[in-house]
Amino acid sequence: MRSDKVDLKGLTLDQLQQFLVDLGTQKFRAKQIMKWIYQRGVTDFEQMTDQGKSLRQQLAGHAVISSWQPEAVEASSDGTRKYLFRLDDGESVEAVRIPMETEKDTLCISTQVGCAMQCQFCLTGTFGLTRNLTPAEIVNQVCGVLPDGPIANIVLMGMGEPLHNLDNVVTALKILCLDDGLGFGSRRITLSTSGLIPEMGKLSEMIKVNLAVSLNATTDEVRDRLMPINKKYPLKELMAACRDYPLGPRQKITFEYILIKGVNDSLADAKRLVKLLHGIKAKVNLIPFNEHASSEFKCPDEETIREFQTYLLDRQIVAMRRASKGQDISAACGQLKGKLDK
């Protein structure tokens, strides 16, 4: 049976070294094996020709190397591609490749099947949490799209709340950053959270990646309604945690702010947002709400969006408007759902 074997795709370098020591072999082989797995895409131990025959047989007896091919790929008219991956238990997750003008693609990956946070505007949130993804399942989303072309940046903005699956997510990120593996610089990875304060602190101690916080409101009243997690971790505490978050010299926290018509898009909101961000090294991503059938919310008109952005820019706040790519294939923010609706 597959299941009693260790999946090497889910192991960090330390864990692979320990696994090899437990098998009675030397730990320096871990880096060689990592190269076979991540740089040459090998899944059959017999192909690892720099390892002795008996070790190859031993590995085959105790380990597997999982590998994913997308079950379906949908291409959007703007170049965005959505990949559907089937999991061993029949669930599925989605990842989205987003073309960037100046550089290689960005890949948006999922960290859970569904999400427990129940944000009112988010399609994923309406289904609740089915389960956490394992480290291998997170890593395999990246490996599974690489045959289509290189990835410059990874964003954890697909299905799920990454900090609600902290240990698996950090293990996966460590694997993605391995020099002898895929070698992603940790600054090329951005983790987005709805604001789980204790886990934000833990994350900063475990790995240095870019942090994005989904703010989406400027008063507790509105945020409580949009994002129930705000009742547990209200704005004042969230902003204090952001203020204390350790950052590198040129690093900033990204604040994502979905603009929803008549809910959080007024100039009074823009004004409060400027106040909230005071003293924080911040940039703002304005995301016009992606309308979907499960929500009554609407996207504001162009003029409202422009005024909101201009208000921030005039006050020296870096405020980008995030293009909602892949809308025609439901690949835009908050629209991923795997097969949860079946």
Q: Provide the annotated active-site residues.
A: 94, 333
Find the angle CA(8)-CA(11)-CA(17) to the nearest 5 degrees: 90
Query: Is residue 216 at the binding interface for ligand SAH, with CB under 6 A as the rule?
Result: yes
The total of other beta-carbon atoms located within 10 Å of residue 49's CB is 8
Each residue 146-175 as x (binds ligand SF4 by CB under 6 A) or -, in order, gives --------------xx--------------
Query: Is residue 334 at the binding interface for ligand SAH, with CB under 6 A as the rule?
Result: yes
Query: Is residue 194 at the binding interface for ligand SF4, with CB under 6 A as the rule?
Result: yes
Residue with Cβ nearer ligand SF4 (189 or 336): 336
Query: Is residue 98 at the binding interface for ligand SAH, with CB under 6 A as the rule?
Result: no
- Of all residues in the shown chain, the one whose CB is closest to ligand SAH is 334
d(Cα 246, Cα 293) in Å, to the nearest integer?
39
Query: Is residue 126 at the binding interface for ligand SAH, with CB under 6 A as the rule?
Result: no
For the bound state, the minimum distance from the C-beta of residue 284 to ligand SAH, rounded and expressed in Å, comes to 12
**34-63: which residues touch ligand SF4 (CB under 6 A)?**
none
Distance of CA 283 to the CA centre of its chain: 18
For residues 324 and 80, the answer to whether their CB atoms sit within 8 Å is: no
Each residue 210-239 as x (binds ligand SF4 by CB under 6 A) or -, in order, gives ----x-------------------------
Residue with Cβ nearer ligand SAH (134 or 285): 285
333 binds, among ligand SAH, ligand SF4, none (CB under 5 to 8 A by kind): ligand SAH
Characterize 75-104 residue by residue with b for buried, 16 or more Cβ atoms within 10 angstroms of its Cβ, and e for exposed.
ebeeebbbbbbbbeeebbbbbbbbbeeeee
Q: Name the burial class of residue 316, with classes exposed (0-12), middle (13-18) and buried (19+) by CB atoms within 10 angstroms of its CB.
A: exposed
For residues 120 and 168, the answer to whether their CB atoms sit within 8 Å is: no
Those residues whose C-beta lies under 8 Å from the C-beta of residue 229, and which sit 6 or more positions away, are 117, 119, 194, 195, 196
269 binds, among ligand SF4, ligand SAH, none (CB under 5 to 8 A by kind): none
d(Cα 172, Cα 179) in Å, to the nearest integer?
14
Each residue 21-60 as x (binds ligand SAH by CB under 6 A) or -, in order, gives ----------------------------------------
**232-271: which residues touch ligand SAH (CB under 6 A)?**
256, 258
